[in-house]
Structure 1
């Protein structure tokens, strides 16, 4: 089976858009997933393609010459006081570089407010023919599959999607078999990585691991195959930050090992919800 993979920004966090594209192409990825909406994290460098037209043109030329594509633009967070219109520049950038999806997550507990704002985000993105793919995060406001499905159920726009991250499914203790019940139209891409089976009890430790210490597929204790085999086959964006590995081998070698381990794992274990596994 042919799988497609994207190199996510968090895996090579401080790479510029052209740098991540070159790393992805050199390693054999199909896509890149670019951060153009910033989170204000420590040591996070901002590369704004809307303002840096020279870099944007260089990226577009590189994509055209190599066949590499941009999968999605991140991260349109919904939080108390968010101004959805401020994400419009990133949507324009997404169209300029050929991306099809905007990644979103929700970081407020105010349900009525975040459902309203998610609808507003979908409406704005629909003007650019972009999907808005909601990722639940166990340390955020929308933290599990039930929360996510409730948002989608209350969304009035058909460009809303659900973005499953293997790390978050495990940490939220969601039953992967429930993914089988979700219509195929809501799945556009997924995040994959591995991590320790043990779920941290402290929020700070959970945050540290998801930002600094995820593992190559097959190295940890997440039942990744059970998650992916209850979903349609979609492009897999490898979001796998690991500061120790990067410090030892650098971004490109780390990205290469991410892809090798993901390909090996998927070819061995993943068949998707519409296919059947090969006999042993």
Structure 2
């Protein structure tokens, strides 16, 4: 049996619910942490407005203390041509109060030099708050592969709080290879995201995005070589279980979180 890592309940596995409820669900289903989305992934997207409503913080902090569940990551920051790090002070302050560990970061700027510069500024700004800035490569963004993510970090002069997220779905559907993981310094990997999916890569970005947001599968249900991915990273790395699927609307958030946890544990037991 493989080492069983600590698991975090991703925002997309239990979306549209209050963070305090997510914390209780996590506590009742075997997770050690949760992720919270406090900025939208896209304009008009769902998120919990904790920056705008700081009066919600004491209740969430009390629930964290009661349950013993921590905050793994905060979503999400996008680096685009209009990126302005000065607008993110409230985001960092919330992260520090929650004692969050990581920020999920996406890259949308086609100017690679400007993208690395923006990332360097983000890392510098969030470091005093105890946060790492973890790049999530996605094949429809400007950071399309694990190699692209590493190039951004190198272009930013390797900040001490830089990081790369390996999402098994994006890894499998991008120009990324298992050998790339070994070529990247291990200290850049703080946590990873797990799900399964069809072994057939969608042909268009629209289909890729749709699959990522609504059609991820439980580990073992699809065709991704999860074994190769998760035996290539540190066995002690926290794993965020991120499995949005249409089926979850037919179940309670607790039941879906439990199903995702059970399938992920079964996968690790077989490693």
TM over 0.5: yes
- Structure 2 length normalisation: TM-score? 0.94
Per-residue Cα deviation, 1:16-35 (whole angstroms, up to 9, x for no partner): 21121122112110000111
Q: Give the corresponding residue for 1:133.
A: 134
For structure 2, the residue ranges without an aligned partner over 5 or more in a row are: none
Q: Give the corresponding residue for 1:85.
A: 86
Which protein has greater RCO, CA pairs closer than 8 Å, 6+ apart?
A: 2
Measured on the aligned residues, the alpha-carbon RMSD in Å equals 1.4
Matches within 5 A, 1:166-205: 166-205=168-207
Q: CA deviation at 1:54?
A: 3.6
Per-residue Cα deviation, 1:121-151 (whole angstroms, up to 9, x for no partner): 0010112121111110011011012211111
- Number of corresponding residues: 267
Of the structure 1 ranges 126-135 and 187-196, higher mean CA displacement relative to structure 2 is found in 126-135
Q: Give the corresponding residue for 1:265.
A: 267
Matches within 5 A, 1:1-280: 1-40=3-42, 44-156=45-157, 157-233=159-235, 234-243=237-246, 245-269=247-271
Query: Aligned to 1:10, what secondary structure does the other structure show?
Result: helix
Q: Is the Cα contact below 8 Å between 1:80 and 1:108 reproduced in 2?
A: yes
CA pair 41-212 structure 1, distance change in 2 beyond 3 A: farther
Query: Aligned to 1:177, what secondary structure does the other structure show?
Result: helix
Q: Distance in 2 between matches of 1:111 and 1:48?
A: 31
For structure 1, the residue ranges without an aligned partner over 5 or more in a row are: 270-280
Query: Aligned to 2:255, what secondary structure does the other structure show?
Result: helix
Q: Is the Cα contact below 8 Å between 2:197 and 2:223 reproduced in 1?
A: yes
- Structure 1 length normalisation: TM-score? 0.91
